[in-house]
A and B are shown apart, each in its own frame.
Chain A
Amino acid sequence: MLSRAALRDRIAELVVAACDGEVDADQVLGAGSLVLIGVGSLASLRIIDAVETEFGMPLGIDDDPSFLDTVDGIADHLLGQGLQLESA
């Protein structure tokens, strides 16, 4: 299991890879909005695919995909879907 910090770091790595390195991890972790730093629709599709593959659970984007706009949003969504963190 991951810590919250490790989960955020891993998500950031997946976002960077999905953007072919056009953004870096610091930008991604500090962004108030991934869209506003240039993460477009194609990258969003790749992020969904990568996160689902990495964590083995469907993200469920049908109703409201706004959680995809921040690393914390994605982390919270995964936790809401049942991902377990290591206990402190």
Chain B
Amino acid sequence: MTALDPGVGTAAIEAPFTGQARQGPLTMAQANMLKRMRELREAADRYTMNLWLSVAVPGGTALDRVGAAVGALMVRHEVLRSRFVFADGQMWQRVLGSGTLAIGVHEAGAHMAATVEGLRGSLFDTHFDVTGELPLRAAVVTRDGAPARLLLALSHLACDQGSLEVLRRDLGTLLRTGAAPTTAHATRQPIDQAEHERTPAALARYEAALDFWRTTVTGSPQAMFAVPLAPPDGEPFAHARFSSPAVALAAAAVAARTRTSPVTALLAAIAALVGVRTGQDRCLIAAPTANRFLPELLDFLGPLAQDALLSVPLTDETFDDLVRRMRAASLTGYRHSQYDADELWPTLDAVGLSRGTKYARDTVVNNVSPPVSGALRPCTAEDLAGALRGSELFWIPAEDLPPARFVCFVHRMDGTAELSLWASTRHLPRPEIAAFLSGLERLLVAAALRTVPLAELSTVAGVSAPERDAGWVFTDLCWVRPSESRRVLAGLPSVRSAAVFASLPDSRLVGYVVPADPGAVDLVRLHGECVAALPGNESAMAPHWYVLCAEAPSDVDDEAAWRSVPVLAEGSGRPAPQVS
């Protein structure tokens, strides 16, 4: 599709705005987003991270009114008329008091879709220069001279997915009535949020969130999908969409019995089956959350979304117990989903260095479903039998979403459940993706009618545990292959030869290493290099103990032979605990 110049339309209009000028710091999420945007741009220029909104203009709306609506939007949301500047050693957001945004007008004639796509290319696929340009670009598409669509591209510094819904609502009302909608609660502007984030109460909350993440990641597997890999089949990812009235009906019935919610029942089912499929007795889920539950953030415009971490043991007696436990895990996880990511990742890296692991964030459940309306109630077998006839699964194009291995989107749970499951096909081949989704349905349908013992999960859902051979060991809550740990270790430039063995009784890993330079032996550095090389290989873990040897034995696969060679040094390689 040829990109169109949004500023060279058949005409142009202006969106004037006038408001209060002010300057303040960035929010934590904006600062993190700015860093992420720069990192991604360095990795590949095509990743703009921009957001896109296309809004239908009501028939009969004059062009001037469209411009006025965009101007009013910029008055209402300070971030849309802000520039981001570096001064006095930090980034600031500078809200402009007045100005205009130029909006190109493009006649589509009979080619509406092509015109919109062309404009998307020019508005959306170009990086924002947020220091010199406003974080918003707009164009109007006309049909026979009448405004038909208003297109907006937004910098991720000014917007996230939750913000888009706010913008869609505000614009809809502005275009229809000329006035912005009234809201029940006062809304924070980003500068207000940044100031709030610096209050003692907020700082204490973020610190508690870091503690929660540290504790939870320490007590969980580094990855769920440390499983035997299926052979590559030329299709690295697959993405299925599943529509099921039965899942919605059954999840509501389970929720009514357990006093939870349909989404909680679904999350519990997902956790249970991920546990079965991966042979784990604890499930760790990253659940992106909008972080908009507080009234003052409902209509906030700016990035707020972050991961919540949901960790549940799968050792309860019944599925109902697991659903109740998932409610506790969800509430706790969502209450700890606001934090400074700049502090979170070093915190998790410290956990990884201590354990010799890497938090993989490989299992993601993104619930974007609107709240379920109406009362929760039980259902009958007849209700479910009828609903099951409406189930439908189809395949959609799979994007590239690593490092995740399993990403489930919950699009809708009201009336009909709409789910999609994206997975790495080496970790969950296409037939197993389909089996997983139908397994969720089978489990929830069974659980709607009776209390399902967790011991029956595999039978009820038709999802099987992985078949791991003797090359796998379970240590420190993680399934790993010592041979993969050896591959990681042997691949380090500072290592000439290596072998890793699991010791009894707890399968702790012992790494025997012949350094490339025997004169430069540093166990802490070696361990750090090993942990740094783990990402992308969830079946490897750094050894718990290193033995540096002067030479390799003739049979490098013989642990006894390694024990007989001269030792240069040995130790855990973990940094000594800091004493305050």
Contact = CB atoms under 8 A, between A and B. Distances in A.
5 contacts: A36-B375, A37-B375, A41-B331, A45-B331, A45-B335
Which of B261, B327, B374, B376 has most chain A Cβ within 10 Å? B327
Interface stretch (B155-163, B174-182, B252-260): B252-260
B261 A41 contact: yes
A69 B256 CA distance: 12
Given A35-B376, A48-B335, A41 B259 contact: no
B485 interface: no
Contact of B376 (A36, A45, A66): A36
A46 B261 contact: no
Interface string A58-88: 0001111110010000000000000000000
B295 interface: yes
B374 A35 contact: no
B371 A42 contact: yes
A46 B328 CA distance: 15
A30 interface: no
Given A38-B374, A38-B375, 12 more contacts: A20-B184, A20-B295, A35-B259, A36-B376, A45-B293, A45-B331, A45-B334, A46-B295, A61-B335, A62-B328, A63-B328, A64-B324
Contact of B263 (A33, A41, A65): A41
Contacts of A38: 373-375
Question: Can you list the 7 inter-chain pairs with the closest CB atoms, starting with the nearest?
Answer: A45-B293, A35-B259, A42-B293, A69-B259, A65-B328, A41-B261, A61-B331
Contacts of B293: 42, 45-46, 49
A62 B332 CA distance: 6
Interface string B291-317: 001110000000000000000000000
A44 B20 CA distance: 36
B372 interface: yes
Nearest to A35: B259
Contacts of B373: 38
Interface in A21-58: 33, 35-38, 40-42, 44-46, 48-49
Interface in B217-275: 255-256, 259-261, 263-264
Contact of B372 (A40, A44, A48, A61): A40
A66 B324 CA distance: 8
Count class of interface residues, chain B: 20 to 34
A56 B577 CA distance: 35
B330 interface: yes
Given A35-B259, A35-B260, A66-B259, A44 B331 contact: yes
Contact of A36 (B256, B324, B331, B334): B256
B332 A33 contact: no
Contacts of A20: 184, 295
Interface string B316-358: 0000000010011011101100000000000000000000000
Contacts of B327: 41, 65
Contacts of B260: 35
Which of B259, B260, B371 has most chain A Cβ within 10 Å? B259
B328 A41 contact: no
Contacts of A40: 261, 371-372
Nearest to B264: A41
B271 to A, nearest CB: 16
Contacts of B332: 61-62
A20 B293 CA distance: 12
A36 B375 CA distance: 6
B506 to A, nearest CB: 28
A18 to B, nearest CB: 9
B328 A49 contact: no
Nearest to A58: B208
Contacts of A37: 375
A62 B259 CA distance: 16
Contacts of B264: 41
A32 B548 CA distance: 65
Contacts of B324: 64, 66
A63 B263 CA distance: 19
Given A42-B293, A61-B332, A33 B259 contact: yes
B68 to A, nearest CB: 30
A40 B414 CA distance: 13
Interface in B463-497: none
Contacts of B335: 45, 48, 61
A69 B372 CA distance: 17
B20 to A, nearest CB: 28
B21 to A, nearest CB: 33
B573 to A, nearest CB: 33
A23 to B, nearest CB: 11
A25 B328 CA distance: 25
A43 to B, nearest CB: 8
Contacts of B375: 36-38
Given A36-B376, A40-B372, A63-B328, A49 B294 contact: yes
A46 B294 contact: yes
A14 to B, nearest CB: 12
B169 to A, nearest CB: 15
Nearest to A69: B259
A45 B297 CA distance: 13
Contacts of A64: 324, 328
A27 to B, nearest CB: 12
A1 B261 CA distance: 34
Contacts of A35: 255-256, 259-261, 376
Contacts of B374: 38
A40 to B, nearest CB: 5
Contacts of B328: 61-65
A20 B371 CA distance: 14
A45 B292 CA distance: 10
